[in-house]
Amino acid sequence: MRIRKRIFTVLLLALIAFFAVINADRFVRPVFENKYFNSHFLGTHYFLNDLAGVSPKQPALAEVYLLSHSARAAVVVPNERQQLELVAADKYGLSQDPKIKGWGSSSVPVNGKGELQLYYYRTFLVGEFQPDDTTVRQRNLKITIPWHSIHAAFGGIDISSEESASATIFDIKLNSAGRFWIETQPPPSDGFAIEFNLQGFAPGEVRIGAEQLPIDKNQFTLTTRDLHSLALTELDGDVGAEISVVRGGVRGRIGEVDPAASDLLVVANTSQSLVSDSPEFLKRGCPGRQSAWVDIDFDGDLDLYVSCGRPHEPAAQFGNQLFENTANGLVENGEKFAVNFQAYGAFRFIDWDGDLDPDLWWADASGELQYYENQKAQFVLRSVFAGTWKGSYRPPQLMIQDFTKDRFPDLVVFHPAGNLLIENRNGESKMILLPMLGLPQKTVAGHWLDIDLDGNIDLLTALNGVYLNQGNAQFKQEKSNLKDKLFIRDARLVSFATDEGRRLLIAYRTCLPSKFCGARRVALSLLRGFLPLELDSLEFFGLIEPYDWPVYVLERSIVNSAFKEVAITLQGSRFNPLAIGGRVDLSWASQKQSHWVAETDSALYSRADFTMYASLPISEEVNGHAYWPDGCKVDFVITEKNHQLQISRPLSCR
**Which strands sit side by side in the sheet containing 73-78, from one edge to the other?**
84-88, 73-78, 63-68, 48-54, 603-606, 227-234, 241-247, 262-268, 277-282
Assign 354 a pLDDT band (cuts: 50, 70, 90): confident
* Residue 174: predicted pLDDT: 92
* Angle formed by the axes of helices 2-22 and 514-530, nearest 10°: 140
* Residue 142: predicted pLDDT: 96
pLDDT, mean of residues 163-182: 89
pLDDT, mean of residues 453-469: 83
pLDDT, mean of residues 277-302: 72
pLDDT, mean of residues 227-252: 59
pLDDT, mean of residues 268-293: 59
* Residue 438: predicted pLDDT: 92
* Domain 116-223 grouped into CATH 1.10.3470: no
N residues, the chain: 654
pLDDT, mean of residues 40-62: 64
- 637/51: higher pLDDT: 637
Query: pLDDT at residue 488 above 80?
Result: no
- 517/348: higher pLDDT: 348
pLDDT, mean of residues 476-488: 62
- 522/217: higher pLDDT: 217
* Residue 170: predicted pLDDT: 96
Query: pLDDT at residue 653 above 60?
Result: yes
Query: pLDDT at residue 59 above 80?
Result: no
Q: Which of 420, 442, 443 is nearest to 432 (CA)?
A: 420
Percent of the chain with pLDDT over 90: 9
* Residue 599: predicted pLDDT: 46
pLDDT, mean of residues 237-242: 48
- 599/629: higher pLDDT: 629
| 311 DSSP assignment | S
Query: pLDDT at residue 625 above 90?
Result: yes
* Residue 405: predicted pLDDT: 77
pLDDT, mean of residues 69-91: 60
Assign 484 a pLDDT band (cuts: 50, 70, 90): very low
| 434 DSSP assignment | G
Query: pLDDT at residue 245 above 60?
Result: yes
Other CB atoms within a 10 A radius of the CB of residue 484 amount to: 18
* Residue 283: predicted pLDDT: 67
pTM of the model: 0.80
Query: pLDDT at residue 367 above 50?
Result: yes
How far from 140 is each of 158, 169, 220, CA to CA, in Å? 10, 13, 14
| 96 DSSP assignment | -
pLDDT tens figures, 430-445: 998 888 899 999 888 8
**Which strands sit side by side in the sheet containing 303-307, from one edge to the other?**
290-294, 303-307, 321-326, 329-332
Assess whether the region 11-95+225-556 and the region 563-648 belong to the same CATH fold.
no
* Residue 423: predicted pLDDT: 92
Domain limits of the chain? 11-95+225-556, 116-223, 563-648
Query: pLDDT at residue 604 above 50?
Result: no
Query: pLDDT at residue 60 above 50?
Result: no
pLDDT, mean of residues 475-479: 84
Query: pLDDT at residue 255 above 60?
Result: no
Asked whether 20 and 533 are in contact (CB, 8 A), the reply is no
Asked whether 198 and 233 are in contact (CB, 8 A), the reply is no
d(CA 479, CA 488): 19
CATH topology of domain 11-95+225-556: Methylamine Dehydrogenase; Chain H (2.130.10)
Q: Work out whether strand 475-477 and strand 345-350 pair parallel, antiparallel, or are unpaired.
A: unpaired
Query: pLDDT at residue 321 above 80?
Result: yes
Assign 143 a pLDDT band (cuts: 50, 70, 90): very high
* Residue 370: predicted pLDDT: 93
Assign 13 a pLDDT band (cuts: 50, 70, 90): low
Assign 27 a pLDDT band (cuts: 50, 70, 90): very low
pLDDT tens figures, 527-575: 665 666 777 666 666 666 656 777 888 887 777 778 888 888 777 554 4
d(CA 195, CA 144): 5
- 417/654: higher pLDDT: 417
The region of weakest confidence among 66-70, 474-478, 507-511 is 66-70
Helix, strand, coil % over all residues of the chain, rounded to 5: 10, 45, 45
- 513/501: higher pLDDT: 501
- 11/456: higher pLDDT: 456
pLDDT, mean of residues 157-176: 91
* Residue 373: predicted pLDDT: 94
pLDDT, mean of residues 338-350: 87
- 298/255: higher pLDDT: 298
> For 542, left (φ over 0), alpha (ψ -120 to 50), or beta?
left
d(CA 162, CA 341): 43
Asked whether 453 and 447 are in contact (CB, 8 A), the reply is no
How far from 420 is each of 251, 398, 491, 550, 604, CA to CA, in Å? 33, 10, 18, 28, 27
pLDDT, mean of residues 276-282: 55
CATH topology of domain 563-648: Immunoglobulin-like (2.60.40)
What is the three-class DSSP state of 221?
strand
Task: Please give the mean pLDDT across all residues of the chain.
Answer: 72
